[in-house]
Structure 1
Amino acid sequence: MLEVRDLRAGYGGTEVLRGLSLSVGQGEVVAVLGSNGVGKTTLNMTLSGLVEPWSGEILFEGRPIHGRKPSEVVSAGLVHVPEGRKIFPNLTVLENLVLGGYRRSKTGRNTNIERVFRTFPRLKERMKQAAGTLSGGEQQMLAIGRGLMSEPKLLILDEPSLGLSPLLVEEMFGLIEQLAKDGLPIMLVEQNVVQSLDVASRAYILENGHVVLSGAAETLRDDPELKRAYLGL
Structure 2
Amino acid sequence: MLEVSAIRAGYGGTEVLRGIDLKVDAGEIVAVLGANGVGKTTLNMVLSGLVKRDSGAVVFDGERIDGLPAPEIVARGLIHVPEGRRIFPNLSVRENLECGCYRRAGAARKTNLERVFATFPRLKERHRQSAGTLSGGEQQMLAIGRGMMGEPKLLILDEPSLGLSPLLVEEMFALIAELNTSGLPIMLVEQNVVQSLQLASRAYILENGQVALSGPAETLRDDPELKRAYLGL
User: What range describes the TM-score normalised by the shorter chain of this pair?
Assistant: over 0.9
Deviations 1:139-159 (A, max 9, x none): 000000000011100000000
Within 1, Cα distance between the matches of 2:200 and 2:113? 27
RMSD in angstroms over aligned alpha carbons? Answer: 1.0
Deviation at 1:232, TM superposition (A): 3.8
Deviation at 1:229, TM superposition (A): 3.6
1:198–1:74 Cα change, 3 Å: same
Partner SS, residue 228 of structure 1: helix
Deviations 1:24-58 (A, max 9, x none): 00001000000000000100000000000000000
Report the TM-score when normalising by structure 2.
Answer: 0.98
Aligned length: 233
1:106–1:187 Cα change, 3 Å: closer
Gapped regions of structure 2 (runs ≥ 5): none
% identical equivalent positions: 75
Within 2, Cα distance between the matches of 1:82 and 1:105? 20
Deviation at 1:223, TM superposition (A): 2.8
Report the AA paired with residue 176 of structure 1: I
Deviation at 1:106, TM superposition (A): 3.6
Partner of 1:126: 126
Deviates more, 1:104-113 or 1:46-55: 104-113
Within 2, Cα distance between the matches of 1:10 and 1:60? 21
Counting only pairs closer than 5 Å after superposition, residues 74-85 of structure 1 correspond to structure 2 as 74-85=74-85
Report the AA paired with residue 61 of structure 1: D
Deviation at 1:230, TM superposition (A): 4.9
Partner of 1:171: 171
Partner of 2:196: 196
Gapped regions of structure 1 (runs ≥ 5): none
Partner of 2:20: 20
Partner SS, residue 68 of structure 2: coil
Within 1, Cα distance between the matches of 2:195 and 2:44? 20
1:73–1:213 Cα change, 3 Å: same
1:106–1:223 Cα change, 3 Å: closer
Within 1, Cα distance between the matches of 2:41 and 2:78? 16
Deviates more, 1:49-58 or 1:222-231: 222-231
Within 2, Cα distance between the matches of 1:82 and 1:13? 24
Partner of 1:35: 35
Within 2, Cα distance between the matches of 1:142 and 1:166? 19
Deviations 1:183-228 (A, max 9, x none): 1100000000000001100000000101010000011112334311
Report the AA paired with residue 5 of structure 1: S
Partner SS, residue 17 of structure 1: strand
Within 2, Cα distance between the matches of 1:231 and 1:45? 27
Partner SS, residue 182 of structure 1: coil
Mapped contact 1:205–1:230 kept (Cα < 8 A)? no
